[in-house]
Amino acid sequence: MQTRLDPLGTDLGPKFAKYLVSAHSALVRSTMPTATLELVNIRVSQINGCGGCLDMHTKEAAAAGETALRINLVGAWRETTVFTEAERAALELAEQGTRLADGIGITDDAWAYAATFYDDEQLMALVAQIALINAFTRLNVMTQQRGGSYVAGQLG
């Protein structure tokens, strides 16, 4: 697979990326647990088939202290015992929010369950993170950005 386009090698790409990174900065300063945000990033990246994002977020999660077991089991979170109920609720919202084209959307049950663990500010952070990682994964998949060379912390 050849990279189709280097987004940062264009005039527009760095300007666009600046705003996405700025949005990310606001989210990491929220009260939403960082570990949960990284689990969401990993799961959305898996669903969307984004090797670049999976490379980044699995390494960032590990660098932040996440265990290899939990990182490796994100794709099968329903069939495991290593995630908290709050994390499960976040992962369910991430899956439903990523698979909007399947016609289900976010179910009232999934939303209500997440709301038992997260306040409105945290829910907003979670929704925004799901939207943001979907934007990043789609950008990378469309331009065929490959994973494998990311170093944890390289983007600050």
Q: Has residue 51 been placed in a domain?
A: yes
Are 53 and 136 in contact, with CB atoms under 8 Å apart?
yes
pTM: 0.93
Q: Has residue 18 been placed in a domain?
A: no
> Left, alpha or beta for 119 (phi > 0: left; psi -120 to 50: alpha)?
beta
Q: CATH number, domain at 55?
A: 1.20.1290.10
41/59 Cα distance (integer angstroms): 12
Quick one: pLDDT at residue 156? 66
Quick one: pLDDT at residue 1? 63
Q: Has residue 63 been placed in a domain?
A: yes
81/73 Cα distance (integer angstroms): 10
Give 10-residue mean pLDDT values along the chain (156 residues): 78 87 89 95 97 95 95 98 98 97 92 98 97 94 84 77
Are 143 and 5 in contact, with CB atoms under 8 Å apart?
yes
Q: Has residue 39 been placed in a domain?
A: yes
User: What is the span of the domain harbouring residue 55?
Assistant: 33-143
> What is the total count of domains within the chain?
1
Q: Has residue 150 been placed in a domain?
A: no
